[in-house]
Structure 1
Amino acid sequence: MEITEHIDALRHEGTRLAEAAARTDLTAPVPTCPDWQVGDLLRHVGYVHRWATAIASRGLRAPLDEAGAEAAVGPMPSDAALLDWFREGHATLVDALGKAPADVECWSFLPAPSPLAFWARRQAHETAVHRHDADAAAGVPGPAVDTALALDGIDELVGGFMTRSRATLRSDRPRTLQVRATDGPGSWRLTITQEPPVVTIDASTEPADLTLTGPARELYLLLWNRLPAEQTGAVESAGDRDLLDLWRDAAAIRWS
């Protein structure tokens, strides 16, 4: 996906998140994020949006420390002002990324063609995944993410987050996970050992310990741990389903 496509996705997904939150009580639980309520979700995503805006718009070469982040985000709003606060931060991020020069230099933490490409992609998926959380809290499914965005989000997760040294997806014995999208050019093979997983992008037909096959939008939510395996009827799994349990336990992406 191009930078402009990621920014468009960020715009649409943030708007949908706000719409879902607007029709839900702030104290409603978020089923896909245990221990969170809708208010917690809005504060988290609103915080991240402001944090990312500060880094990209100021061209910061290092991550913000705690004091810098607090200054960039500002005071947390009251419940009455929370939704407007979220919308304001979201709009500011979309505007900042849209106006940033293509060659802006700033800190980033996953491989990307450029810092701007990283931040546009990362915030698009941060917002899309949490938009699903807002829909889950509202109890009404929202529009499915576009296939292109879903494919891109799977790639960011398995090829970016899972291969970092701090990733916790490990296995005492080598195990393989194959992910195949049925509606786009997406096939990823992960070899999981005691070291960071090795990911290859191919359409290999060699058997894996577990193969997940299905529409990109279903695989996207499944791999981002937003759908219970038993609720993803469109995804076929062949092989050792214990590997899916390992994924759910070890492949979570945490803020800290």
Structure 2
Amino acid sequence: METAEHIKYLVREGQLLAEAAEEAGEDAEVRTCPGWRVRDLLRHTGMVHRWATSFVVEGHTSYRPGSGEPDLDGEALLEWFRRGHDRLVTALTEAPDTLECWTFLPAPSPLAFWARRQAHETTVHRVDAESALGLVAGRSPVGPGLAADGVDELLCGFHGRDKSRVRTGRPGTLRVRATDTGDAWTVRLSAEAPRTTRSDDGPADCELSGPAEALYLTLWNRLPIGTPAVAVSGEDRLAHLWRETSAVTW
């Protein structure tokens, strides 16, 4: 997926997130993030947007922490979120292809990395905001192409790092297959960090198959393992291992 497409999705998903948050109200429970209210979601996502913007605009070449979450509520919080989202979109749109700055996952370029990462950060949290309206799977669809791209970022990016906690003393192979896009990934699980290839070669001990959107939401732990849209075959212990250990940390 090209950078321009990621930015297009970032625009849409940020607008949908704000609309859902406004409709639900800041005190509404975010069902997909136990313990969070809508205000927590807006503060977190708005902080991440500003954090990402700082790397793109200021060109920091090493890690820098975010500036923290604001003590805002109500209309002021919603407006703060929208301003930060707009600034991020502007920063990515105006950044040169030659941008040099810090990143933390493999990507063709820093600009491609930040556009992709923030598109998925915002999409997943848009689903969270819509869950506060009682719509656990999200009332707005995640397109198959974006969803498959997000599965790829999660499996090959986040869980391609040595810090992944998805580990097991009983090695096994997990296959993830998107039935609508034709994408497939083979994830080798062991006592070491997972190793993923973009293929469906060889046998698998467990397979998750279904539309890319359902896989995206399941693997990001926004839908439960066993949701009707995703078929689980083989050793379901590997699917449950994913559920229990795959929460992403920076």
Aligned partner of residue 174 in structure 2, secondary structure: strand
> Pick from 178, 183, 191: which aligns with 2:180?
183
> Matches of 1:100 and 1:215 in 2, distance apart?
34
Aligned in 2, Cα 1:241/1:98: closer, same or farther, shift over 3 Å? same
TM-score w.r.t. the length of structure 1 is 0.93
1:119 aligned to 107, 114, 126, which one? 114
The answer on 1:244 being equivalent to 2:239 is: yes
> Hey, what's the Cα distance between the residues in 2 that align with 1:75 and 1:201?
40
Aligned to 1:170: 167
How far 1:229 sits from its partner (Å)? 2.1
- CA distance in structure 2 between the partners assigned to 1:236 and 1:248 by the alignment: 15
1:93 aligns with 2:88: yes
> How many Å apart are 1:254 and its aligned residue?
2.8
Partner in structure 2 of residue 151 of structure 1: 148
Report deviation, 1:155: 0.2
Give the aligned length: 248
Q: Which whole-Å CA distance do the structure 2 matches of 1:4 and 1:234 have between them?
A: 30
1:76-132 Cα shifts (integer Å, max 9, x gaps):
433330111111100110010000000100000000000000000000000000100
1:78 equivalent in alignment to 2:73: yes
In structure 2, give the amino acid aligned to 1:157: L
Secondary structure in 1 aligned to 2:196?
strand
Provide closer, same or farther for how the CA distance between residues 245 and 182 of structure 1 changes in structure 2, counting only shifts above 3 A: same
- The corresponding residue for 1:28 is 28
Find the residue that maps to 1:80 and give its secondary structure.
helix
The 2-side partners of 1:11 and 1:63 are apart by 25
Alignment partners' CA distance in 2, 1:119 and 1:144: 22
Taking the aligned partners of 1:246 and 1:173, their CA distance within structure 2 comes to 11
Once the 2 structures are TM-superposed, how far is the Cα of residue 208 of structure 1 from its aligned partner? 1.3
Provide the identity percentage.
52
CA RMSD, 1 decimal: 1.3
Following TM superposition, where does structure 1 have runs of at least 4 consecutive aligned residues deviating by more than 6 angstroms?
none
Match of 1:128 in 2: 123
Residue matched to 2:103: 108
Query: 1:237 is paired with a residue of what secondary structure?
Result: strand
Corresponding position of 1:214: 210
Secondary structure of the corresponding residue to residue 204 of structure 2: coil
> How much has 1:166 moved relative to structure 2?
0.8
Higher deviation after alignment, 22-31 or 153-162: 22-31
Q: Deviations over 1:162-207 (max 9, x none)?
A: 1101111101121110000011131000000111111111133x33
Tell me what 2:53 maps to: 53
Secondary structure of the 2:209 match is strand
Question: d(CA) in 2 for partners of 1:144 and 1:75?
Answer: 30
Amino acid at match of 1:47: M
The reply on whether 1:201 has 2:216 as its aligned counterpart is no
Structure 2: gaps spanning 5 or more residues: none
Q: Indicate yes or no: 2:32 matched with 1:37.
A: no
Query: Which stretches in structure 1 are left out of the alignment for 5+ residues?
Result: none
